[in-house]
Amino acid sequence: MVASTREPSYLQVVTPSVRLVPMSADQFVVYREAAEQAYAEDIARSGMMPELEAPEKAAEDFSRLLPNGLGTKDQHFWTALDGDDEVGMVWLALTEKSDGLHAFGYDLLVPVDLRRRGYGRAILVAAEELCRESGVVRVGLSVFGANAGAQALYEAMGFEVTMLQMTKRL
What are the boundaries of each domain within the chain? 15-156
Is the model's pLDDT at 1 over the cut of 50? no
Calculated CA dihedral for residues 59, 64, 70, 72, nearest 10 degrees: 180
**Averaged pLDDT of the chain:** 90
Distances (CA, A) of 126 to 38, 74, 137, 168: 24, 18, 16, 37
**pLDDT for position 17:** 87
Q: Are 20 and 123 in contact (CB under 8 A)?
A: yes
Query: Phi and psi dihedrals of 46, rounded to 5?
Result: -75, -20
Q: Are 88 and 108 in contact (CB under 8 A)?
A: yes
pLDDT tens figures, 110-153: 999 999 999 999 999 999 999 999 999 999 999 988 888 899 99
Q: The pTM is what?
A: 0.86
Which CATH architecture fits 15-156?
3-Layer(aba) Sandwich (3.40)
Q: Which amino acid is at 17?
A: S
pLDDT range class, residue 170, cuts 50, 70, 90 = confident
Output 170 or 53, whichever has higher pLDDT. 53
